[in-house]
Amino acid sequence: MKLLFLSQRVPYPPNRGDKITTWQLVNRFRQAHEVTVLAFSHDEADRRAAQELRGMGIETLDFPLDMRRAKLASLPLLATSKPLTLGVFGSRALRDAVDERIEGADFAYAFSSSMGAYLLPHDLPWIMHFAELDSDKWRQYAERTPPPARWVYRREWRRLLEFERRIAARTVTNVLCTPLEEEIFRREIPGCPTMVLRNGVDLEFFSPAENEPEPGHLVFTGVMDYLPNIDGCVWFTEEILPRIQEAVPGATFSIVGAKPTPEVERLASRPGVRVTGFVEETRDWLRRASVAVAPLRIARGIQNKVLEALAMGLPVVGTTSATQGVEGTPQSDYLVRDEVEGFAQAVIDLLKDPEKAHALARSGRRLVEERYAWERTLAPLDEVVHPA
């Protein structure tokens, strides 16, 4: 079967949240189908990645996208009823490529609602994968951001929800990452078919380290120009870390991820804080750490950072928002704390009690082995996308 795969970003290499999932999807589909990828390339690294995909025999068409310019160009849409998101990810070249290839295709898969917009004019059967339920994400942004950004986010939430309702009614099914997101989807967009497709983790690549971790070393991984990651790291560094360092002198915190904003870079001026910027392998930093933290206050879906840390055999302390998509047992597989004092004390206890930390880490690794291997999590797709 000929399958079109549309993505906001070139789905390779699997070095950030969206690319981890999109690569696993493309890699699975290509085992049984002839896949054509149509995606935006955000930078030179994306363009090289597209070339690598072509070298693997995967037809890949990438379309350059300058996000800063695209965001500015979308601002006139504020005077319309159209979501800004559709302006940012609007491309005549991509639309023409979809129109050209749609006739020879049997099926399509859109990763993110903005990619679904390109399939709306056509009758081809397709799946809409809500990588995040974006309208709900903008609602959360509006709740945590002061004006005037709050007004823009609130508008985007409402406009994008209207659009999501349109595309959800046109698809074979709508993919959500967690039962919670499916529940929100069914409440906001009732009557449309849904399925839950959990993220997974590469259990061979992310495996427990044999070396001893650095005492008192805490780690967070994630792309650092993303608002939920910025908010979480600022909150942790300013409110929680000082309490930990008071109880555990010498405790350090590494913020590991590409594209740190100036706000994030300034955190490196605080005692014991490192902001690494881009690294080749986040796995190397997870191996060095004693505890992984996920202090996200804005989040939906399954956090890859949590799954990867659990797979590495690291004890994890996260908020409800960061862990709500993980179908494990809180306080047994990972610790959940939402308040400053509670979060700090949970980390302190793990740093001071290695046996407790090791027990939690073993339980977390067992959880991902049982439930989050990619072969297991993606298997439900075979019932929906299959050779004609």
Quick one: 10 and 133 in the same domain?
Answer: yes
Quick one: 121 and 252 in the same domain?
Answer: no
- CB 224, CB 324: distance < 8 Å: no
Quick one: 228 and 291 in the same domain?
Answer: yes
- Residue-by-residue DSSP string for 178-242: SHHHHHHHHHHSTTS-EEE----B-TTTS---SSPPPTTEEEEES-TTSHHHHHHHHHIIIIIHH
pLDDT of residue 300: 73
Q: Residues near 37 by Cβ (< 8 Å), separated by ≥ 6?
A: 5, 7, 10, 11, 26, 50, 53, 58, 59, 60, 61
Quick one: 228 and 182 in the same domain?
Answer: no
pLDDT of residue 158: 96
Question: What is the domain extent for residue 175?
Answer: 2-199+374-383
Quick one: 144 and 242 in the same domain?
Answer: no
- Residue-by-residue DSSP string for 45-88: HHHHHHHHHHHTT-EEEEEE--HHHHHHHHGGGGGSSS-HHHHH
CATH number, domain with residue 153: 3.40.50.2000
Task: Please tell me the distance from the alpha carbon of residue 197 to that of residue 93, in angstroms, as a whole number.
Answer: 30
Q: What is the pLDDT of residues 221-238, one digit of tens each?
A: 999 999 999 999 999 999
Q: Inform me whether the pLDDT recorded for 9 exceeds 80.
A: yes
Residue (of 123, 124, 117, 129) closest to 173 by Cα position: 129
Q: Inform me whether the pLDDT recorded for 81 exceeds 60.
A: yes
pLDDT of residue 21: 94
Residue (of 185, 98, 90) closest to 134 by Cα position: 185
pLDDT of residue 387: 56
Q: Is residue 206 part of a domain?
A: no
pTM: 0.90
Quick one: 165 and 192 in the same domain?
Answer: yes
Quick one: 378 and 367 in the same domain?
Answer: no
Quick one: 261 and 164 in the same domain?
Answer: no
What percent of the residues of the chain are helix, what percent strand, and what percent coil, each to the nearest 5?
50, 15, 35
Task: Please tell me the distance from the alpha carbon of residue 309 to that of residue 357, in angstroms, as a whole number.
Answer: 13
Q: How many domains does the chain have?
A: 2
343: phi then psi, degrees, rounded to nearest 5: -65, -45
Quick one: 169 and 47 in the same domain?
Answer: yes
Quick one: 259 and 362 in the same domain?
Answer: yes
Q: Is residue 388 part of a domain?
A: no
